[in-house]
Amino acid sequence: MDKTINVTLKIWRQAGPKVKGHFETYKLDNISTDSSFLEMLDILNEQLISEKKEPVVFDHDCREGICGMCSLYINGHPHGPDSAVTTCQLHMRRFHDGDTITVEPWRSNAFPVIRDLMVDRRAYDKIMQAGGFVSVNTGGVPDANAIPIPKKDADEAMDNASCIGCGACAAACKNGSAMLFVAAKVSQLALLPQGKVEAARRVKAMLGKMDELGFGNCTNTGACAAECPKCVPLSAIARLNREFICAKFKD
Amino acid sequence: MATKKDIQAAAEPKVTAAKEATPKAKAAATVEEKIDAKIPEGPLAEKWSNYKAHQKLVNPANKRKLDIIVVGTGLAGASAAASLAEMGFNVLNFCIQDSPRRAHSIAAQGGINAAKNYQNDGDSVYRLFYDTIKGGDYRAREANVYRLAEVSNNIIDQCVAQGVPFAREYGGLLDNRSFGGAQVSRTFYAKGQTGQQLLLGAYSALSRQIGKGKVKMYSRYEMLDVVIIEGRARGIIARNLVTGRIERFFAHAVVIGTGGYGNTFFLSTNAMASNGSAAMQIYKKGAYFANPCYAQIHPTCIPVHGAFQSKLTLMSESLRNDGRIWVPKKLEDAKALQAGKLKGRDIPEEDRDYYLERRYPAFGNLVPRDVASRAAKERCDAGFGVNATGLAVFLDFSDAIKRLGKDVVAQKYGNLFQMYEKIVDENPYEDPMMIFPAIHYTMGGIWVDYELMTSIKGLFCIGEANFSDHGANRLGASALMQGLADGYFVLPYTIQNYLADQITVPRMSTDLPEFEEAEKAIKEKIAKLMAIQGSKSVDSIHRELGLVMWDFVGMGRTKAGLETAIKKIDEIRKEFWSNVYIPGKSDDLNVELEKALRLADFIEIGQLMARDALMREESCGGHFREEYQTPEGEALRQDDKFSFASCWKYMGEGKEPVMLKEPLDYEFTERKTRNYKN
Amino acid sequence: MWLFNSSVGRKFVMSITGACLAFFLLFHASMNLVAIISEEGYNMICEFLGANWYALVGTLGLAFLAVVHIIYAFALSIINYRARGRERYAVSDRSNGVEWASMNMLVLGFIILGGLCLHLVNFWAKMQLVEILGSEPANGVELIKYTFSKWYFAIIYLLWFVALWYHLTHGIWSAMQTLGWSNNIWLPRIKCISNIIATIIVLMFVAVLVWYFVAGNCCCASACAA
C-alpha cells in the first residue's frame, strides 16, 4: 500500500510576466505514491520554505477536479500523463522511482505567465462575456417543464456543459486555439431550446472575441479533446463550425 | 396581515444607543442590545408576499446612482451580482480566484431541492419547509425557511431558462432523485455536477452583465476589511493578489457571499482557498457571528490516507440512494480488514452489519448527514473500522449492481466511481467503497435579519456565509437552493428596502479618514506578520489547528474537550504570531502571506466555535455534545434552554466575546424529537 | 469579410479549396488508370484535355484553388505559430488519438508542392503548356513510360504519393469537420471514409507508377539480356 518513490522535478520558474524564465531542478525523496501531484508540490514547497526559499507558485483550488483552477503541463501533457483527470486528480502512482518530471505552465499567447506556473486565463472569461449566456433576466421566466427537451439533447448538452474552463485545450493545441472551449459552450446552448433563440448571435460574438484575443485557428488535430480532463467531444467543434457558417450565410 | 406601517417599522428598527455610539463606547457596550430579526407580521405563508408588497423600492433612474459591492462569486455572490446589475445598480464584484467561475459552489455534486412536486409524490412548499426545519433540528428561523421553500421553485425555472442542462426523462421533462432527510423525490440534478451547472448558469448571467459594463469584475482580489462610515458599511479594503497592492473601494452597500469556514479544520471538503476571513473581518467590525459551532460533517467522503493529505474529497450523498453502508459484525473480521488480510467482498452477507438500516428502518441509508456521520463514528470508535487507520466504513454497491445491472449503476454514478478509482486506485464496482465523515459545510455564520442584513447597516451577508436557513444541520441539496435563493430572489428585493433611503447619498471619496484608517490597520497587520520571520510554515501551523479542531470540536464534543481546545488554540495563536515564517515581500504576489492572513482568522474562528460549542449544552444537528444523548445514542436537544441562535459580538482583541440570544419561537411548527426510525 | 478575418472563415476556405483539389485528384487518378487499361484511350483523354477552352478554364480554376489553398496555409501557420506564444514547451508528447499527419500538414504540404512542381515540369510543361504555346504536345503514354521507368523518378513520385496519402487522410475528414458535417456518431465514420478515399486515390496513382516502372524495367532487362 504505502509505496514511496524518489523523483527529480524540473520546474519552470519565472518571476513575472516580462521576466525571462528558466527551469530549476529539485530532488524529492520518499514521496508516497498515494499522494496527489499537487500534494507532492506542497511537500516541495514546505521543503523550500524550510530552506527559506520562495515556494513555487501554481494555481489550484478545489482539488477535486471541478473548479478548473489547476493548470500544469507535465511531461508534455496538460494535466499530466493520466487521461480524463485534472492535475489535482493526478496521483504519484502514475510515476516511477527515479523519474524526471518536467512541469511547465500553459503556454499560449493568450495566457501570459503571471508567476512560475501561474498563468492569466481571463481571456476565457472575456469570451464568455461576449456571448456565452442566454439573455434572460432574473424572474419572469416560464415554468421549468414548459418546454420538454428530448433526453438525448439534454444529455449531449450536459456533456458539452461539463467544460471546466481550465484552458487545457488551448494549452494542448499546437495552434493555441480555444475552439473546444468556445465549442463546448456554443454546443450546449445551441442544443437547448432556451439557447437556440440567440444561437447565431452568440456564435458570432464568441468566435469574434476568441479571434480578437489572439487564439489560433483550429486545424482539427484533436489534441484538445484528447487532453480535455472532462472529455468534451471533438464533435462540439463541428457543431460550432456549422452554427457559425450557417449564421454567416444567413447574413 | 402586516400593515404598511408594521413593515416600515420593521425595516427601520429602533437602534439602541450603543449601536450609534463611537467605537470606544461600543467596546463598553453590554448585553443590553436587542436582536431584532425584522420578521414581517402575518401568517407564515404570507410573510414574504406581504414584505414584497410593502417594501420600499428604488426607481430605475436612482439605481444607476447606487453602487453595490458583492464579495464572492459563488452561487450566492454571482447570482446576486448578476441580478442586481440587471436591475440597474452598479456592481463591483470580487473573487480570489482567477475567474468567478471557480468559486467552490462548483464542487457541489448531488443536486438542488425544490418543491415542484413534479413527481406527484405529495411534495409541497410546506413539506419542504417542514423537512428543512426538522432536518435543521429546530434551530432555524421559521420565516426564513418558509421563504426559502417558497422561492425554491423559481430557482429551477430560472436555471432552466439560463440553459442549465438538468437531467431529464425520456418524455423530455425534468427528472428528480431522492436525498437524505426527505421522503419525496424533489432533488433536481445534472449528472454528479449540479453545483457546477448551477454556478455556470449564474456565472453566465454575471458574464453578461460584465460584458454590458454593469458589473466591474475584480478577480484575484481578496477582501481584507469592510469600511464603516457613520455606522454604515460604505466600502471595502482589498488586496490585489497579483501585485500585492492594498486598494480601496467605495459602495453604498456591501454584500458578503464568501462561503463557509470549514477549512478551520485544515482537512475538509472545502477548496484550498475557501476561508472565513471576510466573515471574521466584519465580525470584528461589529457584525454578530451566529451559531459558529454548527458545522456539518458529511458522511460520505474518501477517508484520510496520509500525513501529506491536503484536502478531503466528497463522494456525493446521492450514492446513498443505491449504496448500502455497512461494517463487519465480528470484531475479528474488522481486525483482518484493518491489517489488509481481508477485502470487503470476502465477508459473507450474514456477517455484515448494515447499521443504518438496523438503527433507522424508516429512512435507512437515507438518514440526514449528521445522523449518518455519527453512526459511522460510533461503529469506528467501537473498533469496526474497515481500513488501515480503522476510520472508514463500507459503501457497497453490489446489491444495486445485482438489482439494476452494472450499466445502470455506471450511468447513474459513473463519474463518481471514476473519481473514486482515480484517488484510491480501487475499483468500486468490485470492492465496496470506503468512506468516512469529513467537515463539509458550516451552518453557522454571520447573523442576518429577515432582510439578510447583518447587525451593521448596509452590510448584507448571503449564502453559506450567513447563518440563516439550515439551523443546526443542513439537508442534502439545500445549500445550492439557499445560495441561489438569497442571490436571485431575496437579496435583490431586500437590499432595495435599505437603499431606498440612500439615493441622496453621493459617491464618497476613498480618501476619507475611515478608508485611510482601515487601510493603515491592514498594512500594520501585514507588516507584523512579515516581521515575525519564525521557523514554521503557515500550513504546518494550520495542520496543528486542524487536528485540535477535529479531536475536540469535531463530531463528538465534551465540556472537558472543548475547554482543552480553547486552551490549545490559545497556544496555537501564540505560536502563530511568534513563530510563523512567511517568505517573499508583502507588496508582491505572495501566496504564503495570503494563507497566513487567512490562518490568523481561522484561529479566531476555531476558538469561537469551541466557545459556542461549550456554551450550547445540548446536542442538536451538527453539534453533538456527548453529555447530552439518549440511551440509544441519539442527539438530545434542550429546547427549554437552548432554543435560540447564539449571536457572538466581538468586544476587542484579547477580550472574551459577548453572546446575545435571538430566541427562536416556533409559531407554526411543533417541535419534535427528530425521528428517522419509523 | 468573414472568409479572411475569422478563424472559422479561413478554415472554411481551406476546406473548400482542399475538398475541390481532392476531387480533382480523384478524377486525375481515374484518368491515369486508363493508361494501364488502354494506351490509346489514355492518349484520347490527353487530346481531349488539350488546349480546349474547358480544359483551360479547368486548369486556371485548379491553379487558383491551389494558390488560395497554399496562401491560406501559410497565413494560418503564421497566425497559429504566433498564437502559441514566444516560449515553447520544453517537452512535448503527442496525445493519444492525435494523428501524426494532423500535426504535420504544412510539412506534408511542402513535399506535395515540391512534387507538384516536378510533376508539372515532367508532364504538364510538355503536354498542355506546349499546346497552349502552339506546338505539338508530347505523346502522353510515351511520356509516362519514359518518366516512370527511371528509378529516381519512381522513388520521388512514390514519396510524393505517400505524403499525399498522409495529407489526404487528415485533410478530407478535417474539411468535413470544418464544414460542420460531423457529430459524435459520424466523426469515426468520416475519419474512415477519409482514409478510404485517400487510399483509393493514392493506390490508383501508385498502380500506374508501378505498372510502368515494372513494364519499363522488365523490358529493359529483357532487352539487355537479348
> pLDDT tier at C226 (50, 70, 90 boundaries)?
very low
Q: How far is CA B672 from CA B134, B637, B638, in A?
A: 8, 10, 11
Residue whose C-alpha is closest to residue C127's, from C206, C43, C20, C64: C43
pLDDT in tens, C29-50: 999 999 889 888 998 888 888 7
Residue appearing with cell numbers 486565463: A121
Residue whose C-alpha is closest to residue A165's, from B199, B601, B639: B199
Tally of residues, chain A:
251
Closest partner residue to A208 among C6, C82, C93, by Cβ?
A: C6
The answer for residues whose C-beta is within 8 angstroms of residue C194's C-beta and 6 or more apart is C168, C169, C170, C171, C172, C173, C174, C176
What ipTM does the predicted assembly reach? 0.98
Q: Which residue of B has its CA nearest to A131?
A: B208
* CB–CB contact A176 C2 (8 Å): no
Do the Cβ atoms of C70 and C113 come closer than 8 Å?
yes
Shortest alpha-carbon distance between residue B572 and chain A (Å): 19
Residues of chain A with Cβ-Cβ distance to B422 below 8 Å are 82, 85, 89, 91
* CB–CB contact B306 A34 (8 Å): yes
**All domains in chain B, ordered by first residue:** 299-439 (3.90.700.10), 514-644 (1.20.58.100)
* CB–CB contact B589 A114 (8 Å): yes
Q: How many Å apart are CA B123 and CA B565, to the nearest integer? A: 43
Residues of chain A with Cβ-Cβ distance to C6 below 8 Å are 207-208, 211, 244, 248
Q: How many Å apart are CA B204 and CA B78, to the nearest integer? A: 9
* CB–CB contact A108 C85 (8 Å): yes
Low-confidence ranges of chain B (pLDDT < 50): 1-29
Asked if the structure places residue C87 within a domain, the reply is: no
Residues of chain B with Cβ-Cβ distance to A42 below 8 Å are 308, 310, 539
The three cell numbers locating residue A43: 511537500
Last residue of a domain, one of A58, A81, A115: A115
Asked if the structure places residue C91 within a domain, the reply is: no
Q: How many CB pairs under 8 A join A and C?
A: 149
Q: What is the 3-state secondary structure (H, E, C) of chain C?
A: CHHHHCHHHHHHHHHHHHHHHHHHHHHHHHHHHHHHHCHHHHHHHHHHCCCCHHHHHHHHHHHHHHHHHHHHHHHHHHHHHHHCCCCCCCCCCCCCCCCHHHHCHHHHHHHHHHHHHHHHHHCHHHCHHHHHCCCCCCCHHHHHHHHHHCHHHHHHHHHHHHHHHHHHHHHHHHHHHHCCCCCCCHHHHHHHHHHHHHHHHHHHHHHHHHHHHHHHHHHHHHHHHC
Tally of residues, chain B:
678
Strand partners, B327: B353
Residues of chain C with Cβ-Cβ distance to A73 below 8 Å are 89
Residues of chain C with Cβ-Cβ distance to A152 below 8 Å are none
One domain for residues A147 and A205? yes
Q: Is B84 exposed, middle or buried (0-12, 13-18, 19+ CB in 10 A)?
A: buried
* CB–CB contact A68 B203 (8 Å): no
Q: How far is CA A191 from CA A149, A155, A236, A249, C179, in A?
A: 9, 10, 11, 20, 18
Q: Is A135 exposed, middle or buried (0-12, 13-18, 19+ CB in 10 A)?
A: middle
Asked if the structure places residue C19 within a domain, the reply is: yes
Mean pLDDT computed over every residue of chain C: 91
Residue whose C-alpha is closest to residue B51's, from B394, B490, B404, B376: B490
Strand partners, B256: B71, B461
Closest partner residue to A151 among B169, B423, B584, by Cβ?
A: B169
* CB–CB contact B191 A89 (8 Å): no
The three cell numbers locating residue C206: 501508385
Last residue of a domain, one of A115, A147, A169: A115
One domain for residues A158 and A142? yes
* CB–CB contact A226 C7 (8 Å): no
Q: Determine contact: C65 vs chain A, CB below 8 A.
A: no
H or E stretch including A101? strand A100-105
Structural domain containing residue A106: 4-115
DSSP state at residue B252: S
**Strand ranges (DSSP E) for B63-185?**
67-71, 90-95, 112-113
Would you state the pLDDT for residue C220? 54
Mean pLDDT of C99-109: 94
Asked if the structure places residue C92 within a domain, the reply is: no
Q: Compute φ and ψ for A24, nearest 5 degrees.
A: -125, 145
Q: Which long-range contacts (CB under 8 A, 24 or more apart) does B507-514 make?
A: B507/B67, B507/B250, B508/B229, B508/B234, B508/B235, B508/B250, B509/B250, B510/B235, B510/B248, B510/B249, B510/B250, B512/B229, B514/B227, B514/B228, B514/B229, B514/B234
Q: Which residue of C has its CA nearest to A203?
A: C8
Strands B289-290 and B445-446: antiparallel
- Pick left, alpha or beta for residue B458 (phi over 0 → left; psi -120 to 50 → alpha; otherwise beta): left
Closest partner residue to A35 among B193, B271, B306, by Cβ?
A: B306
Would you state the pLDDT for residue B673? 84
Catalytic residue among B239, B352, B369, B557: B369
Shortest alpha-carbon distance between residue A60 and chain C (Å): 21
Closest partner residue to B310 among A32, A63, A165, by Cβ?
A: A63
Q: How far is CA B24 from CA B237, B456, B470, B651, B657, in A?
A: 22, 16, 35, 10, 15
Chains B and C touch (3+ CB pairs under 8 A): no
DSSP secondary structure of B464-483: GGB-SSSTTSPPTT-HHHHH
One domain for residues A30 and A51? yes
Tally of residues, chain C:
226
Structural domain containing residue C29: 2-82+100-225
Q: How many CB pairs under 8 A join A and B?
A: 220
One domain for residues A128 and A228? yes
Asked if the structure places residue C89 within a domain, the reply is: no
DSSP state at residue B118: T
Q: How many Å apart are CA A145 and CA A160, to the nearest integer? A: 22
Would you state the pLDDT for residue C219? 61
One domain for residues A37 and A100? yes
* CB–CB contact B539 A54 (8 Å): no
Which residues in C164-176 are b (16+ Cβ under 10 Å) and which e?
bbbbbbbbbbbbb
Low-confidence ranges of chain A (pLDDT < 50): 1
One domain for residues A137 and A162? yes
Q: How many Å apart are CA B85 and CA B69, to the nearest integer? A: 11
Q: How many Å apart are CA A173 and CA A185, to the nearest integer? A: 18
One domain for residues A127 and A234? yes
One domain for residues A155 and A224? yes
Residue appearing with cell numbers 450550547: B616
Q: What is the 3-state secondary structure (H, E, C) of B374-403?
A: HHHHHHHHCCCCCCCCCCCEEEECHHHHHH
**Mutation target among C76, C86, C95 for the A interface, most CBs of A within 10 A:** C95
HSE (side-chain half, CA atoms, 13 Å) at B541: 30
Residues of chain B with Cβ-Cβ distance to A69 below 8 Å are 97-98, 102
**Strand ranges (DSSP E) for B105-163?**
112-113
Last residue of a domain, one of A115, A143, A161: A115
Residues of chain A with Cβ-Cβ distance to B598 below 8 Å are none
Residues of chain C numbered 3-32 and touching chain A (CB < 8 Å): 5-12
H or E stretch including B656? none
One domain for residues A47 and A74? yes
Residue whose C-alpha is closest to residue B623's, from B358, B434, B308, B373: B373
* CB–CB contact C79 A219 (8 Å): no
The answer for residues whose C-beta is within 8 angstroms of residue B113's C-beta and 6 or more apart is B128, B152, B179, B182, B186, B187, B188, B475, B477, B478, B481
Would you state the pLDDT for residue A205? 98
Asked if the structure places residue C75 within a domain, the reply is: yes
Q: Which residue of B has its CA nearest to A60?
A: B272
* CB–CB contact B591 A57 (8 Å): yes
Q: Which long-range contacts (CB under 8 A, 24 or more apart) does B21-26 make?
A: B26/B286
* CB–CB contact A109 C87 (8 Å): no
Chains A and B touch (3+ CB pairs under 8 A): yes
Residue whose C-alpha is closest to residue B288's, from B279, B296, B300: B279
* CB–CB contact A235 C182 (8 Å): yes
The three cell numbers locating residue B224: 481584507
**Mutation target among C1, C4, C8, C166 for the A interface, most CBs of A within 10 A:** C8
**For chain A, how big is the Rg over CA atoms in Å?**
20
Chains A and C touch (3+ CB pairs under 8 A): yes
Would you state the pLDDT for residue C221? 52
One domain for residues A76 and A138? no
Residues of chain B with Cβ-Cβ distance to A149 below 8 Å are 168, 172
Q: Determine contact: B337 vs chain A, CB below 8 A.
A: no
Q: How many Å apart are CA B42 and CA B488, to the nearest integer? A: 24
Residues of chain A with Cβ-Cβ distance to B163 below 8 Å are 133-134, 157, 188-189, 192, 194-195
Q: Which residue of C has its CA nearest to A210?
A: C7
* CB–CB contact A138 B210 (8 Å): no
Give partners of B (≥3 CB pairs < 8 A): A
One domain for residues A131 and A105? no
The answer for residues whose C-beta is within 8 angstroms of residue C125's C-beta and 6 or more apart is none
The three cell numbers locating residue A185: 459552450
Residue whose C-alpha is closest to residue A138's, from B202, C91, C211, B608: B202
* CB–CB contact A23 C90 (8 Å): yes
In this structure, is the dihedral angle defined by the CA atoms of residues B465, B466, B472 and B474, taken in order, positive or negative? negative
Do the Cβ atoms of B77 and B205 come closer than 8 Å?
no
Helices (H) and strands (E) in chain B, counts: 22, 19
Known active-site residue B369: yes
Q: How many Å apart are CA B162 and CA B168, to the nearest integer? A: 16
Shortest alpha-carbon distance between residue A249 and chain B (Å): 26
Report the number of distinct structural domains present in chain A: 2
Asked if the structure places residue C36 within a domain, the reply is: yes
Q: How many CB atoms lie within 10 A of CB B114?
A: 29
One domain for residues A167 and A227? yes
pLDDT in tens, B345-365: 999 999 999 999 999 998 899
Would you state the pLDDT for residue C107? 95
**Mutation target among A19, A118, A129, A153 for the B interface, most CBs of B within 10 A:** A129
Do the Cβ atoms of A36 and A89 come closer than 8 Å?
yes
* CB–CB contact A234 C187 (8 Å): yes
* CB–CB contact A211 C181 (8 Å): no
Report the number of distinct structural domains present in chain C: 1
The three cell numbers locating residue B205: 448571467
Would you state the pLDDT for residue C60? 94
